[in-house]
């Protein structure tokens, strides 16, 4: 199995995919006046954003690519068949009748991208969307967006990577379905629906909440908002970045709300550090393509292993590879054998939930390490403590 991190990091959009975003956050969240209600419909889009023949893989919500994307990612990805080549960008079109509400231009200090755009748009008043990694914007639309001189931010999601992002003022530009709006070499697709019941997180205070409802608690799969026959066509694409493995477990579009309070499953934070950037943190969740496997997404907080999305097949009993949802407060130290496949072990991880909101982990790298060799389980001074 090819490691997910390698797959993401050699992409043409490497600087952003590996460096992470400041969380595809909406800076102003201004809903244009007069925008119609969505009603109860989820059949809002009628056009794929790029030609179907160019798509290699459509990745569900929840993918993790540490250190920049240590948490389950709140957007889907489209990988093109030209992935990893120097081919020209492909045409990007409006997925339905949309109102463009603003844009962001992001400049990266390293990688092959240099700079790219994100386009914010709304198909109706209750749903907000974002296309990320837009290589170029159609000149007519770019002129209507105006200057990128609002709410500029600078951050460094990875060592050696500096990012600057600047937004436009809010705009209201109606674009008809299928109209070219730019180009892309690979796309992020974010969608927020304030009509849904808010997702539940173990520590809701960790996440930004918007008065508009367009926030992490209302993330939904972009792929689920097509009408037929496009909806069925998109569902058949969802899975690994290279299109070789399909996701078959519902919701096929993926999810990000994996926290189970009082267990090891979910997102964990380095004490005293903010939620963003995600680099110093940890996530332990079902895999975004095959949820029968567990992904342990480690940023830079474990000194004995490189940042990575490591996997194991969970068991219902014992102390070896026990499912994280069954690792509860006050229980024994558990041992996980983690790697990039069932026969590709890269390290063992000792894990214990000391109380409902505190988790200790110590990784010990080496392809020959096995949990049996670590008996009796005991932490050393290299163990790291995370909190909820």
Q: Categorize the per-residue pLDDT at 12 as very low, low, confident or very high, splitting at 50, 70 and 90.
A: very low
As beta bridge partners, residue 132 has: 188
Contact criterion met (CB below 8 Å) for 183 and 92: yes
Note if the bond before 376 is cis, omega within 30 degrees. Answer: yes
Residue 179 has pLDDT above 60, yes or no: yes
Per residue in 227-261, pLDDT (tens digit) is 999 999 999 999 999 999 999 999 999 999 999 99
Using the Cα atoms of residue 204, residue 207, residue 208 and residue 212 in order, give the sign of their dihedral.
negative
Asked which of 16-20, 33-37, 79-83, 242-246 is least confident by mean pLDDT, the reply is 16-20
User: Looking at residue 22, what is its pLDDT?
Assistant: 38
Helix residue ranges, H only, the chain? 4-9, 14-19, 139-145, 230-235
Per residue in 200-215, pLDDT (tens digit) is 999 999 998 898 999 9
Residue 7 has pLDDT above 80, yes or no: no
Q: Categorize the per-residue pLDDT at 221 as very low, low, confident or very high, splitting at 50, 70 and 90.
A: very high
Contact criterion met (CB below 8 Å) for 256 and 266: no
DSSP 91-137: EEE-SSSEEEEEEEEEEESSSS--EEEEEEEEEETTEEEEEEEEEEE
As beta bridge partners, residue 154 has: 164
Phi, psi angles (nearest 5°) of residue 52: -55, -30
Residues 6+ apart with CB under 8 A from 268: 281, 282, 283, 284, 359, 386, 387, 388
Size of the chain in residues: 388
User: Looking at residue 173, what is its pLDDT?
Assistant: 97
Per residue in 275-332, pLDDT (tens digit) is 999 999 999 999 999 999 999 999 999 999 999 999 999 999 999 999 999 999 999 9
Distance CA 88, CA 110 (A): 20
Note if the bond before 58 is cis, omega within 30 degrees. Answer: no
Q: Categorize the per-residue pLDDT at 111 as very low, low, confident or very high, splitting at 50, 70 and 90.
A: low
* Residue 2 or residue 24, greater confidence: 24
Place of tokens 């000149």: 139
Residue 15 has pLDDT above 80, yes or no: no
Residue 8 has pLDDT above 60, yes or no: no
Residues 6+ apart with CB under 8 A from 81: 54, 55, 56
């Amino acid at each position: 199995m090819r490691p997910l991190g390698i797959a993401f990091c050699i992409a043409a959009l490497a600087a952003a995919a590996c460096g992470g975003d400041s969380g595809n956050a909406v800076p102003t969240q201004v809903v244009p006046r007069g925008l119609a209600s969505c009603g109860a419909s989820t059949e809002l889009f009628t056009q794929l954003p790029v030609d179907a023949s160019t798509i290699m893989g459509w990745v569900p919500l929840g993918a993790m690519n540490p250190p920049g994307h240590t948490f389950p990612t709140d957007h889907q990805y489209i990988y093109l068949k030209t992935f990893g080549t120097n081919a020209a960008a492909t045409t990007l079109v409006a997925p339905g009748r949309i109102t463009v509400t603003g844009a962001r231009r992001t400049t990266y200090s390293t990688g092959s991208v240099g700079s790219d755009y994100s386009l914010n748009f709304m198909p109706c008043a209750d749903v907000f969307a974002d296309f990320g990694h837009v290589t170029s914007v159609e000149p007519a639309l770019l002129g209507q967006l105006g200057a990128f001189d609002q709410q500029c931010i600078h951050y460094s999601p990875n060592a050696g990577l500096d990012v600057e992002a600047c937004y436009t003022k809010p705009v209201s530009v109606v674009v008809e379905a299928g109209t070219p709006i730019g180009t892309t070499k690979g796309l992020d697709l974010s969608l927020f629906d304030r009509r849904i019941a808010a997702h539940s997180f173990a520590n809701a205070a960790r996440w930004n909440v918007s008065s508009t409802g367009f926030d992490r608690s209302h993330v939904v799969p972009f792929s689920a908002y097509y009408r037929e026959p496009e909806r069925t066509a998109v569902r058949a694409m969802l899975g690994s970045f290279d299109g070789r493995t399909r996701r078959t477990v519902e919701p096929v579009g993926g999810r990000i709300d994996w926290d189970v309070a009082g267990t090891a499953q979910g997102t964990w934070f380095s004490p005293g550090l903010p939620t963003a950037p995600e680099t110093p943190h940890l996530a332990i969740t079902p895999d975004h393509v095959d949820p029968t496997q567990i992904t342990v997404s480690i940023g830079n907080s474990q000194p004995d292993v490189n940042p990575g999305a490591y996997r194991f097949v969970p068991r219902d009993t014992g102390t070896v590879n026990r499912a994280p949802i069954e690792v509860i407060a006050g229980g024994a130290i558990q041992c996980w054998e983690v790697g990039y496949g069932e026969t590709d072990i890269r390290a063992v991880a000792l894990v214990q939930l000391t109380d409902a909101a505190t988790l200790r982990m110590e990784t010990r790298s080496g392809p020959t390490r096995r949990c049996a060799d670590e008996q009796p389980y005991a932490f050393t001074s290299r163990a790291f403590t995370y909190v909820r």
